[in-house]
Every structure is written in structure tokens, then in C-alpha cells.
Amino acid sequence: MLMAFSACFLLILLQLFSALFLSVAQEQSGFISLGCGSPRGKSFRERDTNITYISDADFINTGVARSIIQDYRKEYQQQTWNLRSFPEGTRNCYTLNLTIGDKYLIRASFLHGGYDEKPSTQFELHLGPNLWSTVSTTNETNAKVFEMIHLLTSDRLQVCLVKTGDSTPFISVLELRKLVNTTYLTQQGSLQLVVRADAGATTDKVYRYGKDVFDRVWAPYNFGKWSQISTNQTVNVNNDYQPPEVAMVTASVPTDPDQPMNISLPGEDRTVRFYVVMQFAEIQELSSNETREFNIMYNDRHIYGPFRPLNYTTTSVYTPFELAADANGLYIFSLQRTGNSTLPPILNAMEVYSISLLPQQETDRIQVDAVMNINSGYELNKIDWQGDPCAPRDYRWSGVNCSYIDNEQPKIISLNLSSSGLTGEISEFISDLTDLEVLDLSNNTLTGSVPEFLANMETLKIINLSGNELNGSIPATLLDKARRGSISLSIEGNTGLCSSSASCATTGKKKKNAVIAPVAASLVSLFLIGAGVVTFLNFKRKKRSKLGLNPNPDTGTTPLHSRSHHGFESPVIAKNRKLTYMDVLKMTNNFERVLGRGGFGVVYYGVLNNEPVAVKMLTESTALGYKQFKAEVELLLRVHHKDLTCLVGYCEEGDKMSLIYEFMANGDLKEHLTGKRGPSILTWEGRLRIAAESAQGLEYLHNGCKPQIVHRDIKTTNILLNEKFQAKLADFGLSRSFPLGTETHVSTVVAGTPGYLDPEYYRTNWLTEKSDVFSFGVVLLELVTNQPVIDMKRERSHIGEWVGLMLSRGDINSIVDPKLQGDFDPNTIWKVVETAMTCLNPSSSRRPTMTQVVMDLKECLTMEMARNMGSRMTDSTNDSSVEMSMNFTTELNPGAR
């Protein structure tokens, strides 16, 4: 009998948000969980799901943090207790740096909770430049959840709240869950969730993380003409979709065994297209004369079968094409038993997604980076400079004009920053706007010279630099273009500008001759003062040379505390993080407690703003120390990732230099492997999690940073563990960055730690990201074996050679750390060792990327987690799989407590 989808759809909507309150603990690799409006730097583990949520403050620089009223905190989970509202600006955007080509489940939740007096709201939710959905709430508890599955087409993801009327946009929770790329495939567009149903549920519970490794929200979905069956046996769910076992141990069958199972999708608009995933497993013991076989039909058209579900093993069946409505606007699935079948069809679980095309293309990435760098460099803080600069056209940035050609990315053709309070020199990032036709920087207080790159920008037609304080000669090429009329150049009001070096010299001579007598009389005293200053500076320069504080010969950079000839501090300085030496003395209680010592200097325990910190002091006699100090500050001020140590602040006061980090309560990985911190408590699952987290941090340096960063000193002592044993990469003093593209390597002075050092890099001096991959392979072998990297007593001294020798003898058990006491899945041991040995390939071109390493480790972690949860996960047949996704709106009801 045909079962109308809409009859049960409301039930799903009412229960989906309740899933936010039901789960048990799992690891959270590939998760980003933002509690919007939570205090900066604070994190918490939600008690029902055990998901760790962090503040959203590092992902958005606008909005106001607010809280729901106290009474609702008893009914809703902690991540919804705060929210961020956006009373100012039309479009406000979260920016997340991810990896292009990864696939994510993206979920946004909205609970008003009485934070202000206007609970009835309506505004838009955008994914990048495209409309995702309209958010509409009618009262304080009429909250919404929207979910999309999206393949990243760039390494930057923006989620935007857009004001469309009088309502103030707000958001409570933003969550990203990384999926397996072979799942939820589409011919076009992204997927918005319609429903995710446990079709055989025997309870009314809604569940998510803890039951589902990807934190998908599942709701019970029982049809009136269907009956439920269940099993106490374990059901294998080990395929790419990994449906939760709790859904697979139950199923529905038609109450009348002679009837088909009919499912009608919600097709109000016949233009909507769907993808569907169905999960099947045989959960009844069939006798020899029993058979369950059926076909899957769609709108009376055969799409799959005949199909026999596997015994206690999951098969995911997907629609390989978009599902369109028939002539009557219907979308009907039917599971129909074949003539060979003695049993009716069965359905364990099902997901339905609609296609969201997301037609708006993002602006060219290089140009977006350019205007964002211009924005930050000049500290413009324009309220409407949020999201994509050109798209959608209605929300184009003020002062920015773009070209729009069908099927092409928008390009920036005009930049007007007139009267914008610009100071300093003309930004070199303007040269990255390669389609720019009009540049207006008039009526600011720009200083310095007119840069040569303006003459080399082929598309530039109009340049207005009038009303500034520019000086020096105008580039001859630019003057020539202006004389020939190929460019319009306005420079009025810049009294220090001249048309050539000769005219600049003449102007200077006239000014010199115009000096009046009283000033000339004072030159003698000025000369004496100047001579004293020069003598003092020479003395300081010699002293700094002895301390190794000269410009870095490797990078050509100047010391951190140097100033440009215009008197501005070096761009590396971030005043809000710079502390005084007195601050350092106070936070460390006069260097009372030593945490550790290294080549850089001593690390002390400190307390800053009531939070523990680690204070790393530069040893004054360390010649290389200043270079490392400068490199580390520069890097950590511009990169942010949950698996990299966070720089809280730094001090540079004469020869007193220190770096202040977040405190990592459990020290470094090496200490735990060697037992320095007492008996090892690192299980194999814990080691896999540490490996996956540190690999993610390294992958971010390689792929998420522009320019790319190579760490150069990956080792177990540079992997730190916080109080929750979350791993973070540390010590970036040797790191180097260089652009990707045709230049895939740079020549540097070889640096690193013996045993971890890439032999190809050591031999050639050519540095690539694959040098880090080699070092990380050594770390993986340490995690498996807990053996020294170099041991002259072994048959092969280097750990990689020794493991290779053991493997050649087929003896993997002899290399596994005895402290694990056999508590591991041997398959994951083999997989990690295989990955490690590939990382150690002598040829860097044959080593995997960190993206590949991360995927391997996550696969191993998932298997080990499943084993520890009591699920025997073995290979299963994945005949095919459905992909789908759609934005779903759901009522947010209080969760059971």
C-alpha cells in the first residue's frame, strides 16, 4: 500500500533536533564544532554527546555574543546556550580554511532562546555566495536546523548570515563533519537533507554521534502498514557509508507479506531532484528453503535488482542518477518481491537528499586573497567587506566593481578606496588584481614612493593617487604610459612627488639653498648629537652581530623589532599579543617552575588571565635562536588550526625574548612513549588518534596555508598533548614557507633532527613538503614500535631500516610495542606500518601526500574505535551506494534529560 511520505515527515522534523541530546563518546577526527557566541579561547565537552565544542571567535570578526535565557538551559544542550547575533551589516560570514576536494556534512542550528525581545525572525543562510536556505523562527523555541553535504571546490569555506528585512540574523551552532569522498556522489550541485530515517526503529529515540561515526542525525520512521523486526546479532556496517549499527539491527517488512513496500517522496515542486540511499541487511536466520529477493522500482521503472540482502552485513544501495518526478508530479519508490522469493522485502534505513545547484561562482581566489590582504594590511574594517567580494552581485563589497561573464568566475575590475584613511605605503597586493582597470587611492595619507608594479599592470586604465603624501620619482614606464594616453594618472597634492630622479635632485637642491641662517647655525650642534648617535648605533650593531641578530641570510628578512624607513613597525608585530618583560616575570612568578629545556632555551610554567600558559625564553647566547624566534612568531600569527599549538603572545624587549603558548598539560608524545611521565596510558586507539590529529595539523601547513609551509622538524618531542590528550604540532622555529606552482621546492640550509631528517633533502638541499612526510613516517613507526629512532645496538640502526628488515622476515609481531599487550586490531597495525614505510621511500616523488596519510590514519582509527565499541567490523560488499543531500528545516524541540 502506498505510504505518503508527508504523513511521517512532521514527526521527523519534530524529533531531529532531539538527536542533539543522545549519543555516547567517540573520537572526533575531522570534526569542527563551533559553539557560536561562546567566550574566545574556551572549549567544553557536551555531556550527552561528548562532542568538544570550541568558540567561534577565531572564525569570524563581527557579531555580538549573546546567551539564551536561563530557563531554557535546562531543556537544551550546552552548545545552544550561547549564540552570535549580527545587528550590524547586511552580510556576516564565518571563514574556515579547509582542504579543496574534501567532502563535508555542514550543519547550522538556530535557537533564539529569548536572547532579545524579537523572537520572530527571518533572514537568509548562504554557503559562500549561494543561497542555502531561509531561516524563519516564530517564537523563542521555534528553532531550526539546516544540513548540507558539500564537496569543497576551494580551500576556503564561508558560511554567511544575510539580513533581508528588519530581523537580526543569529546563529547558535555551526558543525562540520568530514565524510568519505566516495560517498554521496552527485552529477551536479550539493545535497540538502530531506530526511534520514531509521526505518525499523523499535523505540522513539533519535540518535547521532556515538552511534554514528559521522554524527549524522537519525530519527525513527515507522510506516503504519509495516512491521518491525530486530536481531541481537552483530551487523557488519563496514562500508564507506558506515550506517550506525543500531539502525541496522532493526528493519521493517510489510505487514502483509504479499504487498510491496511503497515510499512516496515529498515532491511539492516537480522541478526538485532527489538522491536516495537505502541500507539493507538480512537480520533473520533463513532456513534452507527460505529466500528474500526483491527489485527496487522507481515510478514503475526498474532501477536495481533482483537483490538479496547479505546475512548480517550491510549493503548500501544508491541511485546513480537524479530522481525526477513523473508526469503526475510523483516520486514513488517500491520494493517488490520477485517470483523466486518466499519472504517479503526488507528495509533497515534510508536517507533522502535534494539537489542544491549553488550556481553562483566564487570570485577568483587569488584576487579574493589580494583584497583580503589589502583589508587587513590597511585595517579597513569595512562592515560590508564580508564573504565573497563580487558574488552575489547584490552583496558586492563597497568600493569594488566586478566583471560578470557567464560560466566564468567574477573578476575585480575596479577598486575605490578614496578617503578610506589609508596609511603607509601602497600595498603590493594590488598587483595580484590582474584584471583591475580602475584604482582610486585618493585623499588618504599614503607615504613612500609610487611602486613600479602599477606600470606593469596591463589592464589598468585609471590611477588616482591625488591627495596623499607620496614622495620620490614616478616610475618612467608609468609616466610614459600617461604621456601616450594609455593610462590616466592623477597625482595632484603629493608635494614630495617629482616626474624624474633628476627633477627630484633639483628640487632637493633648491630646498637646501633655501635654509635660513638660524637653522644653519644649529647644524654644528646637530652634527655633534648625530655623531654620538652613530657611535651608539655602531656599538649596538656589533653587539647584535655577536648575538646572531643580523638579517637572516636564509630568508633575507630583517629582525623582528626593526622599523622601516617610514617609521612603521614591521608587519609581524601584533600589538595585541606583544607583552612586556615585566608581564613575563609576573606570569611566571619570577620563573619559579621549569617545564623543560631545549636548544632554544628554558620553558617555564605561567598563568595569564587565570589560564595556564607555557613561556619559552630565548637563551641570550643562542645565535640561531633569534631566527627561530622570529620565524615562529611570524608563522603562528598567521596560521590557526586546532591541531597546531596556539601562540598566546610574545615578548621582545631588548635581549629578553620569549614565546607564550597555550599550556599543554600532558607534555610531549616522546615522554609518554618512553615512560618519562610514568607507566604508559596510551592505548593503540589513543596512539592512532594522536597520529591522525598531528597529521591533520601537518596537512594544514602543507595545503591550507598560502604560501605553503614546511615544518622541517617533525618528531615526537614536537607533538604536544593537552589535558584531553589532544595532539598539536609545536616548535615552528625551523619552518619555511614558499609558494606552490611551478616552484615546488626551495634551496635552504639543511635543518632538522638526525633520524627524522629526509635523506634526499640532506643530500640535495632541496626542500619540499615531502621532507615532512618522511619525518612523519618515522613518528608513525615510533608509535607502533616504541623503539628509539637510532639504536646502534640493533641489527639495523635506523628504525625504518630495522622495521623493513623485520617485515622482510614476515615478523610484524616482534616490532609492536609490548606495552600494548596485544590490545589492537592487527589489520590497523599493518596499515599504519605500510603507510609509514611508504612515507620513508628514498624518492620524495614516491611518498604519499599528507592528505593521503590523513585518510589512511582516519580509516585505521575508525576501525579501532569500532573494535573497542564491541563491533566486529570486517569487509562487506558495497554493491552501490546512494548519494543525497538537502537542506532540511526542523523544529528544535527540547531534548530529554
Please name which of 314, 303, 236 lies closest in space to residue 276, comparing C-alpha atoms: 303
Strands in 357-481 per DSSP E: 400-403, 411-416, 423-424, 438-440, 445-446, 462-464, 471-473
Quickly count: other Cβ atoms within 10 Å of residue 228's Cβ. 16
HEC profile of 549-598: CCCCCCCCCCCCCCECCCCCECCCCCHHHEECHHHHHHHCCCCCCEEEEC
The grid cell for 669 is 608524545
C-alpha grid cell, residue 580: 612586556
CA dist., res. 149 & res. 136, Å (int)? 21
The torsion angles phi and psi of 645, rounded to 5 degrees, stand at -60, 145
Active-site hit among 155, 388, 440, 713: 713
Angstrom distance (rounded) from CA 736 to CA 37: 35
Q: What is the Cα–Cα distance from 648 to 633, expressed in whole angstroms?
A: 10
Using CA atoms, how far apart are residues 224 and 236, in angstroms rounded to an integer? Answer: 28
Q: What is the DSSP letter of 282?
A: B
713 catalytic per annotation: yes
Grid cell at residue 689: 588518534
Distance CA 83, CA 670 (A): 40
First to last CA, the chain: 38
Taking the C-alpha atoms of residue 560 and residue 548, their distance in angstroms, rounded to an integer, is 13
d(CA 608, CA 630): 22
Burial call 2-15: b when 16+ CB within 10 Å, e when fewer: ebebeebbeebbeb
- The dihedral built from the CA positions of residue 403, 407, 408 and 409, taken in this order, carries a sign that is positive
State the cell numbers at 833. Answer: 606500518
Identify any residues that bridge with 349 across adjacent strands, giving them in sequence order: 198, 279
Residue 103 marked in a binding site: no
Distance of CA 591 to the CA centre of its chain: 36
Cell numbers at 265, concatenated: 517522496
Query: Which of 170, 175, 142 lies closest to 72, judged by CA?
Result: 142
> Which residue, 193, 211, 96, is CA-closest to 144?
193
SS3 state of residue 531: helix
Torsion of CA 619, 622, 626, 627, to 10 degrees: -140
CA-CA distances (angstroms) from residue 334 to 291, 318, 880, 883?
Answer: 19, 14, 18, 18
3-state secondary structure 779-820: HHHHHHHCCCCECCCCCCCEHHHHHHHHHHCCCCHHHCCHHH
3-state DSSP assignment of residue 616: strand
| Residue 838 CB partners (closer than 8 Å, separation 6+) | 777, 846, 847, 848
Residue numbers in the known binding site are 616
| Residues designated as active site | 713
